[in-house]
Structure 1
């Protein structure tokens, strides 16, 4: 594993572990801001808890678990996807800069929104990072290609061997016994 991955993954994950712990410990601090987004999401996904504080805690727990997995380099691709999935509602709930009346708060919320957007981009790159190993899709395509090539070689070998065998059989049929 490259040094950049060893250093970069924990740096990217640190924000999620810290924020997730805060959400798990004190969901009431962010529940009022999360209410409109939680309501909209729970209406569409019935598996999620109906209560805002429970949904905030669940989101925080996922961030802590996935952040630790990403930081440790264990299952980094699914962990990055899980973090990306939690970041979208978090950003939409906490950084609604378009609704701010005060210009200074609007600027601050826009900065936080863009920061989260940048982190989302980093998570998507991390989710696509195969760690210099070929992806499963690449390996399956190349295995299929190799299999087709081997089958073609076997077919050519069979035909090449069949011609002399057929000729020998014709000669043998003509020879007296």
Structure 2
């Protein structure tokens, strides 16, 4: 089971690590998109979100307080869904569909992150192939 969980952890974080690289290397372009969505201080917000995704991705992939990493993903994903992908604001049908897809993807990933928090907390130190056990003791 440990190997399957490790594979799942790595596959889960690939989207966040890729997003982190984009946020941290294409900061001006990503910041311009954030500005178009009304995000205040878009370039610093882009850098901050990139750092959150990077820290969370590394945390989950390597099993360093993976429950905290999952919490960071949830804290990132839900506001991103609402602030960046508000499909209800779109007037163009194609743009609305694209944003709705991104909104649902972000909410699904946030939901999966919530499940990971519970999973890591429940399994505790018994989960192999991690560097640390969970930070939180949720029962």
Measured after TM superposition, the shift of residue 118 of structure 1 is 0.7
Aligned to 1:89: 79
2:102 matches 1:132: no
CA distance in 2, matches of 1:30, 1:93: 14
Aligned to 2:130: none
CA distance in 2, matches of 1:102, 1:5: 41
Measured after TM superposition, the shift of residue 88 of structure 1 is 2.5
CA distance in 2, matches of 1:125, 1:4: 16
* Structure with higher RCO (Cα < 8 A, 6+ apart): 2
TM-score (normalizing by structure 1): 0.64
Q: Please list every run of at least 4 consecutive aligned residues from structure 1 whose deviation after the TM superposition is greater than 6 angstroms.
A: none
Aligned residue among 28, 53, 62 for 2:52? 62
Measured after TM superposition, the shift of residue 37 of structure 1 is 5.4
Measured after TM superposition, the shift of residue 131 of structure 1 is 5.8
Matches within 5 A, 1:13-162: 13-35=13-35, 38-39=39-40, 51-129=41-119, 130=121, 132-133=123-124, 136=137, 138=139
Aligned to 2:2: 2
Report if the CA contact (8 A) 2:17-2:57 is conserved.
yes
Unaligned runs of 5+ in 2: 126-135
Larger Rg: 1
RMSD of aligned alpha carbons: 2.1
Unaligned runs of 5+ in 1: 40-50, 139-177
